């Protein structure tokens, strides 16, 4: 079963709170995905939590590392240039193959005008290739830049990277989730989902990282912090 088959909503039209949207996705997973497969995903999340990956990632008050990454149109995006225009919201996500990532990106897209009204920019970073980011932006009608961090070099500096365990790799392969093709490398590495707000001097004003890929901050919380 392909992950995307669990979600039948039309891009950009679901205005429910993100947690309500995710709750429905989880219900469908519980209904349609084999218990053995669910157990593997749960073990992976538990293992990441034991490593305290989120707790050891870039935190409040730290300085974000400088980076330059290509966006979905192959144009370079430099952190210093982005911050010269205002505060910056960064969402690290796993890829367009993950329905939770797609749900989050659509939810963030809905509040994009309010983010901009608050004097901030929004970008999202994943290890997928520029071509995959282009397809995602087009499919979901996203109005912000998707940056391709091939090899997870930037995500690694934020302390977010892990290697997909072999038993989960097998599940992804059976589900036609081909990370070497999608990400353009053979590492099978992904970032845990994380959202940051950076001040114009690159100081972290807000940080939310979670080993559980089915949990993301509510967009309203991001707006509240920006205001």
Give the contacts of 193 (CB within 8 A, at least 6 positions apart): 91, 92, 93, 94, 100, 101, 104, 209, 210, 213, 215, 216
Q: Are strands 120-126 and 145-148 parallel, antiparallel or unpaired?
A: parallel
Structural domain includes residue 1: no
User: What CATH number did the domain enclosing 202 receive?
Assistant: 3.40.30.10
CA–CA dist 6, 72 (Å, integer): 26
How many domains does the chain fold into?
1
Which three-class secondary structure state does DSSP give residue 16? coil
Structural domain includes residue 23: yes
Structural domain includes residue 11: no
CA–CA dist 152, 149 (Å, integer): 5
Q: What is the pLDDT along the chain (227 residues), one digit of tens a residue?
A: 333 334 444 444 678 999 999 999 999 999 999 999 999 999 999 999 999 999 999 999 999 999 999 999 999 999 999 999 999 999 999 999 999 999 999 999 999 999 999 999 999 999 999 999 999 999 999 999 999 999 999 999 999 999 999 999 999 999 999 999 999 999 999 999 999 999 999 999 999 999 999 999 999 999 999 98
Q: What is the pTM of this model?
A: 0.93
Structural domain includes residue 122: yes
Structural domain includes residue 89: yes
Helix (H) or strand (E) holding 1: none
- Quote the domain boundaries for residue 177: 17-226
Structural domain includes residue 12: no
Structural domain includes residue 165: yes
The sign of the dihedral angle between the CA atoms of 35, 24, 226, 105 is positive
Bridge partners of 195, per DSSP, are 91, 208
Structural domain includes residue 131: yes
């Amino acid at each position: 079963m392909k992950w995307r088959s669990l979600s039948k909503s039309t891009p950009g039209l679901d205005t429910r709170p993100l947690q309500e949207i995710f709750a429905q996705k989880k219900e469908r997973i519980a209904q349609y995905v084999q218990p053995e497969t669910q157990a593997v995903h749960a073990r992976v999340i538990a293992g990441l939590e034991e490593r305290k990956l989120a707790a050891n990632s870039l935190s409040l008050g730290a300085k974000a590392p400088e980076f330059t990454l290509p966006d979905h149109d192959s144009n370079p995006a430099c952190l210093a240039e982005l911050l010269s225009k205002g505060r910056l919201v960064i969402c690290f996500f796993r890829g367009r193959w993950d329905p939770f990532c797609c749900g989050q990106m659509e939810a963030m897209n809905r509040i994009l005008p309010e983010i901009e009204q608050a004097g901030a920019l929004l970008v999202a970073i994943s290890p997928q290739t520029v071509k995959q980011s282009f397809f995602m932006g087009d499919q979901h009608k996203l109005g912000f830049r998707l940056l391709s961090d091939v090899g997870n070099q930037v995500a690694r500096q934020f302390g977010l990277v892990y290697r997909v365990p072999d038993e989960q790799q097998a599940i992804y392969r059976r589900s036609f989730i081909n990370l070497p093709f999608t990400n353009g490398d053979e590492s099978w590495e992904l970032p845990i989902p994380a959202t940051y707000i950076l001040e114009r001097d690159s100081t972290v004003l807000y940080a939310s990282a979670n080993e559980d890929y089915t949990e993301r901050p509510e967009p309203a919380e991001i707006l509240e912090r920006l205001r």
